[in-house]
Amino acid sequence: MSGLPAKEQQILQAHAGLIHRVVMACQNRDRVPDLERILEVSERNGWTRLVAAIRAVLGGAREPSLLQGLDEEDRIITEAILRGLQDPTTLPDPNAKPDPGMAAPGIATLVHAVRRGDLQSLQLLADMAQQMLKMGGDMARLAGIMNPLARGEWEPERLTRGMTPQGEKLVTAILEELQRLERGGH
């Protein structure tokens, strides 16, 4: 997975548990009794195309046409499931801790998309913030600044209050990436 672009790695890590569950369910549906509940919740949260693709995979579909009509994030997740079915060594590690170096571009991209009105990015950012809260420390503080960042508050001193130097460095990297995105950089 390390050869993938940072944004793709971030997406795969954020959804590693789902990717693993789907691959396991394709091999033996009884091993994943909570998968249907997860799919129903995901569908209610607006992930209808991803859930449709996952259900098609669970039904035996493996063709590349499954990826048609999916947005970038849904496509990355579905491709990871299909790769994992072919070669389980390609599956993302569900126990891996997020790499702070990868986090800045991914978080900045999500915040930028939220500022542009992307509701799916808003949901992903909220899910990510909930995970960060559980981690405590700087990550919990970072979770607490997601909403201000999305509203356009970019005052480093205020956003980094109470963080360690490592946390401050991450927030600074996020702010730099946000400024680049706002200027139209890719």
pLDDT digits (tens, 9 = 90+) for 56-95: 999 999 998 999 999 888 999 999 999 999 999 999 887 7
Task: Examine the fold and report which residue of 59, 90, 121 is the final residue of a domain before the chain moves on.
Answer: 90
Q: Are residues 125 and 80 in the same domain?
A: no
Which positions ≥6 away from 154 have C-beta within 8 Å? 175, 178, 179
| % the chain with pLDDT above 70 | 92
Question: Does the pLDDT at position 180 exceed 50?
Answer: yes
48 domain-assigned: yes
As a whole number of angstroms, the distance between CA 41 and CA 73 comes to: 17
Residues of the domain holding 35: 6-90
Q: Are residues 76 and 107 in the same domain?
A: no
20 domain-assigned: yes
Secondary structure of residue 57 in the 3-state scheme: helix
Q: Are residues 71 and 132 in the same domain?
A: no
- CA 139-183-6 angle, 5° bins: 45
Question: Does the pLDDT at position 136 exceed 90?
Answer: no
Question: Does the pLDDT at position 1 exceed 50?
Answer: no
First-to-final CA distance of the chain:
22
Band (pLDDT 50/70/90 cuts) for residue 102 is low
For the chain, the domain total comes to 2
What global pTM score does this model have? 0.57
As a whole number of angstroms, the distance between CA 136 and CA 72 comes to: 30
Q: Are residues 57 and 117 in the same domain?
A: no
